[in-house]
């Protein structure tokens, strides 16, 4: 996918991207970094990144805090449930009627599915920009580097000024992490058995939207998807 600087500039204008994070954005970035000290105790997490509007400097007073979470293989459902419990107990989870400044836990994948070109739509400039601006706050091993390498369809060199501060808000990085043992595999299967049917029922009720993904290695539950509309606006001739 060939994306030009002109198209990225047009996207940034459409999204109201700021040159630098605002005072409110810095406040909520620091909040995410603070709660990373809680999430880091879940050793089967491989990476957590700031994602979407907060990472793009396009956050507004009604935005939530989107997190992109990478887990170890065979721990996807277990990690998602544990993280959901954490933010729910702390009353920081996004709800239908209360989402401003709350955590949105709607995108999880295992370290086996880093190439996001497989979930891209035609001229997917918005996903391209999401990947380009993703800012990890927790990293295990070389997961972030492998994520970047797998998404080599994103031209990081061309947009180095955007990507250069990606690690600016990194709070925790480890060179080692726990492997998934038999007990966690069992708990993961149990979580999947209990919660997957509910997710599938919601998926069916919403007429199986293409942007929702429920698979062995990826859980993506965003309520809506404006990528087609954004691509049309960005790629239309001025």
Residue 129: burial class (beta carbons within 10 Å; 0-12, 13-18, 19+): buried
| Cα–Cα nearest to 134, from 86, 217, 70, 42 | 70
Backbone angles phi, psi at 232, to 5 degrees: -60, -40
Q: What local confidence, expressed as pLDDT, does residue 75 receive? A: 96
Low-confidence ranges of the chain (pLDDT < 70): 238
User: Whole-angstrom Cα distance, residue 199 to residue 59?
Assistant: 28
Backbone angles phi, psi at 35, to 5 degrees: -75, -15
User: Whole-angstrom Cα distance, residue 89 to residue 150?
Assistant: 35
**Token pair of 191 as six digits:** 């979580």
For the chain, the structural domain boundaries read: 5-231
User: Whole-angstrom Cα distance, residue 231 to residue 93?
Assistant: 30
Q: What local confidence, expressed as pLDDT, does residue 210 receive? A: 85
Which residue matches tokens 């404006």? 226
Please spell the DSSP secondary structure of 88-154, one letter per residue. HHTT-B--SS--TT-EEEEEEEETT---GGGG--TT-HHHHHHHHH-EEEEEETTHHHHHHHHTTTS
Q: Does the reported pTM lie above 0.85?
A: yes
- Distance from the Cα of residue 216 to its chain's centroid: 17
Q: What local confidence, expressed as pLDDT, does residue 206 receive? A: 78
Q: What local confidence, expressed as pLDDT, does residue 204 receive? A: 85
**Token pair of 220 as six digits:** 């993506």
Residue 118: burial class (beta carbons within 10 Å; 0-12, 13-18, 19+): exposed
């Amino acid at each position: 996918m060939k994306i030009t600087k002109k198209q990225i500039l047009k996207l940034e204008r459409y999204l109201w991207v700021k040159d630098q994070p605002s005072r409110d954005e810095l406040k909520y970035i620091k909040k995410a970094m603070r709660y990373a000290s809680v999430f880091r105790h879940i050793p089967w997490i491989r990476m957590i990144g700031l994602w979407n509007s907060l990472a793009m400097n396009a956050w507004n007073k009604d935005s939530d805090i989107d997190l992109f979470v990478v887990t170890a293989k065979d721990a996807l459902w277990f990690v998602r449930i544990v993280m959901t419990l954490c933010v729910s107990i702390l009353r920081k989870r996004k709800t239908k009627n209360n989402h401003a400044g709350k955590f949105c836990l709607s995108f999880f994948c295992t370290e086996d599915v880093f190439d996001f070109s497989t979930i891209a739509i035609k001229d997917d400039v918005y996903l391209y920009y999401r990947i380009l601006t993703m800012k990890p706050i927790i990293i295990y091993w070389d997961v972030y580097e492998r994520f970047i390498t797998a998404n080599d369809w994103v031209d990081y060199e061309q947009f180095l000024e955007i990507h250069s501060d990606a690690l600016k808000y990194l709070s925790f990085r480890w060179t080692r992490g726990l492997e998934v043992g038999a007990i966690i595999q069992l708990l993961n299967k149990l979580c999947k058995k209990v919660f997957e049917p509910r997710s599938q029922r919601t998926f069916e009720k919403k007429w199986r939207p293409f942007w929702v993904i429920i698979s062995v290695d990826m859980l993506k539950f965003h309520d809506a998807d404006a990528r087609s509309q954004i691509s049309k606006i960005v790629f239309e001739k001025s």
